[in-house]
Amino acid sequence: MEMKKELLRQIPKIDEILAQPQAAQAMAQGRRAAVTQAARQAAERLRSRILAGETPELSAEATAALALEIAEENSRMNLRPVINGTGIVLHTNLGRARMSHEAALAAMQVAENYNTLEYDCRQGRRGSRYDHVESLLCQLTGAEAALAVNNNAAAVMLILGALAKDKQVIVSRGELVEIGGSFRVPEIMEQSNSALAEVGTTNKTHPQDYERAITDQTAALLKVHTSNYKIMGFTEDVPLEQLAEIGRRRGLPVIYDLGSGALTDLAAYGIESEPTVQWACQAGADIVSFSGDKLLGGPQAGIVVGKKSYIDVMKKNPLTRAVRIDKLTLAALEATLRIYLEPEQINQKIPTYQMLSMPLEEIQAKGRRLLEKLAEVPGLHGQLVEEQGQVGGGSVPAQMIPTWAVALRHESVTPDQLETRLRLLPLPIIGRISKDRFLLDMRTTQEEYLDYIAQSVAQETARGGREETA
Ligand SMILES: *Cc1c(COP(=O)(O)O)cnc(C)c1O
């Protein structure tokens, strides 16, 4: 205890830290507030370490160096790029879909300039933000009308709030999904003040189940694409076409929450087919909703397409204002949709499809290039291994995609240490550990980062197996 007290007394005062040449120089370079704050944090960090029983270096010089390191960490953007070596193409924690360059550029231009968000240049008067993507969406999906909002959870809430408020919506028990975070179909329905009538059982729902549940309180039939799980075995659901037929006969709109929202057939990528938006519209859904940042490969958004009469009701609903799409998203979404107008450009320009369409030989060759760059790193053993990646993003359930990964092992740095050190870099490299090796998937790792990865692995293994105490 006495010893701890003595050590605590020895922590340099803030003024002393700031008087050190490196700190003083940084202060003089216009970083006064940042360095002062970092000096306080450095002193605080030393305090905690002493109280935890450690004996850190307490000279003013070492503390100033620590303060500058902290100042550097503090200056980094919290939301910043990472390298995705996980093999999950639509990684929800890593921002889902990477946007195309076209989409990013469109967002940037709209951000830095006044723009046509709600201005109609031809008429010289107020326009509607919803017009920018509506005709594109109709052209691409074959729907009569369209509306884009903040995300798909909001879209579903808006659909139910606008079409089924204080009424009842029928949904199969096999489709009461929870999609990550807090999107649960029953809870969304509660929020939109529509009552849920569950029919069927978890594994089987028949057309008569819907028919029998319809009353004069029923406002719609809802089908939810079970995008992140699969019920296998003894199962039966009512196909969309059949549900649409029931809806038509009973005068009820059929709503389809499609979730992932592919505009292109995934079968072309050797991936199990997902229903496309065009198919859903053709199969008779009156309203279809999907995300912008899943299989569309664009920005976070919720897109509703379908019959004009229903979309018109939604546009007038006050909830629409609360979940409206912002100008940056809208610009990125429009640019993304324009790529789909020329289908041969999809694989070239939309990163999600660049990755999904990459031939295995090319993935393997990328891995070889990384291994070559790593060949001179002392103590490092690398090899190419066949692995399984995933589409991810709550799409294509249970579907693994073959891929190649670079597997690394080091003589003195453990895979855990390597994983942690690479994750803590200013541009973090996110991989995973398997069979006592550190793995980087070559489908999702971007070519332009191979040099950076090689340099970082060299730098982070050169420090050996010592665990930093900082
Ligand atoms: C992903 C998903 C949602 C939620 O979409 P967000 O864009 O994340 O809000 C809703 N329903 C289904 C079926 C989904 O797959």
Which residue has better confidence, 143 or 270? 143
Per-residue pLDDT, 86: 97
Is the pLDDT at 470 greater than 70? The verdict is no
Question: Is residue 233 predicted with pLDDT exceeding 70?
Answer: no
Alpha-carbon gap, residue 251 to 309, rounded angstroms: 14
- At residue 397, the pLDDT reads 53
In the reported structure, the alpha carbon of residue 257 is separated from the centroid of ligand 1 by a whole-number distance in angstroms of 8
Quote the ligand 1 centre to 225 CA distance (angstroms): 9
**pLDDT number for residue 227:** 64
So what's the pLDDT on residue 469? Answer: 47
Q: 222: Cβ below 6 Å to ligand 1?
A: no
* Closest atom, ligand 1, to C-alpha of 226: 13
Answer yes or no: is pLDDT of 182 > 80: no
Pick the range with the lowest mean pLDDT from 221-230, 291-300, 331-340. Answer: 221-230
pLDDT of 424 higher than 60: yes
200-232 b/e (C-beta count within 10 Å ≥ 16 → b): beeebbbeebbeebbeeebbbbbbbbbbbeeee
- Amino acid identity, position 21: P
pLDDT in tens, 369-383: 999 999 999 999 999
Instruction: Indicate the pLDDT class of residue 441, thresholds 50, 70 and 90.
Output: very high
Question: Minimal CA–CA distance to 292: which of 161, 99, 91, 81?
Answer: 99
Q: In this predicted model, which residue has the larger pLDDT, 172 or 270?
A: 172
- Tens-digit pLDDT profile for residues 145-181: 999 999 999 999 999 999 999 999 999 988 887 655 5
> Does 290 contact ligand 1 (Cβ within 6 A)?
no
pLDDT at 396: 56
Whose CA is closest to atom 2 on ligand 1? 259
List, for residues 385-398, the tens digit of each pLDDT value: 999 999 987 655 56
Ligand 1 within 6 A of 260 CB?
Answer: yes
CA 142, 148, 151 angle in degrees (round to 5)? 120
Q: Locate 221 and state its tokens.
A: 């039939």
Mean pLDDT of the chain: 93
Q: Can you tell me the distance from the alpha carbon of 187 to that of 91, in angstroms, rounded to the nearest whole number?
A: 24
Q: For the residues 42-71, what does the mean pLDDT come to? A: 96
pLDDT tier for residue 237 given thresholds of 50, 70 and 90: confident
- Per-residue model confidence as pLDDT tens digits over 279-300: 999 999 999 999 999 999 999 9
Q: Tell me the best of 176, 187, 257 to mutate to test the pocket of ligand 1, counting ligand atoms within 8 Å of each CB and taking the most.
A: 257
Q: In 3D, which of 147, 142, 143, 189 has the Cα closest to residue 169?
A: 189
Name the pLDDT band for 352 (thresholds 50, 70, 90).
Answer: very high
The dihedral formed by the CA atoms of 315, 241, 281 and 209, expressed in degrees to the nearest 10: 20
Residue with CA nearest ligand 1 atom 5: 152
Region 93-120: what's the mean pLDDT?
Answer: 97
Nearest to 269 by CA among 192, 360, 332: 360
Q: Is 438 in the pocket of ligand 1 (CB under 6 A)?
A: no
To test ligand 1's pocket by mutation, which of 92, 96, 157, 179 has the most ligand atoms within 8 angstroms of CB? Answer: 179
Q: Which residues pair with 223 in a beta bridge?
A: 256
Q: Using CA atoms, how far apart are residues 467 and 470, in angstroms rounded to an integer?
A: 9
Residue in 361, 319, 353 with CA at minimum distance from that of residue 160 = 319
If you measure from the C-alpha of residue 273 to the centroid of ligand 1, how many angstroms do you get, rounded to a whole number?
A: 18
In contact, 156 and 175? CB cutoff 8 Å: no
Least confidently predicted of 194-198, 281-285, 448-452: 194-198
Q: What would the 3-class secondary structure string for the chain be?
A: CHHHHHHHHHCCCHHHHHHCHHHHHHHHHHHHHHHHHHHHHHHHHHHHHHHCCCCCCCCHHHHHHHHHHHHHHHHCCCCCCCEECCCEEEEHHHCECCCCHHHHHHHHHHHHCCCCCCEECCCCEECCCCHHHHHHHHHHHCCCEEEEECCHHHHHHHHHHHHHCCCEEEEEHHHCCEECCCEEHHHHHHHCCCEEEEECCCCECCHHHHHHHCCCCEEEEEEECCCCCCCCCCCECCCHHHHHHHHHHHCCCEEEEEECCECCCHHHHCCCCCCEHHHHHHCCCCEEEEECCCCCCCCCCEEEEECHHHHHHHHHCHHHHHCECCHHHHHHHHHHHHHHCCHHHHHHHCHHHHHHCCCHHHHHHHHHHHHHHHCCCCCEEEEEEEEEEEEECCCCCCCEEEEEEEEEEECCCCHHHHHHHHHCCCCCEECEEECCEEEEECCCCCHHHHHHHHHHHHHHHHCCCCCCCC
| Nearest CA, atom 8, ligand 1 | 152
Give the per-residue pLDDT at 388: 94
Question: Among 91, 150, 227, which is best to mutate for testing ligand 1, by the most ligand atoms less than 8 A from CB?
Answer: 227
Task: Give the model's pLDDT for residue 394.
Answer: 62
Q: How far apart are CA 455 and CA 453, in angstroms?
A: 5
Question: Which tokens belong to 439?
Answer: 């793995």
Q: Is the pLDDT of residue 230 over 60?
A: no
- Residues of the chain with pLDDT > 70, as a percent, come to 95
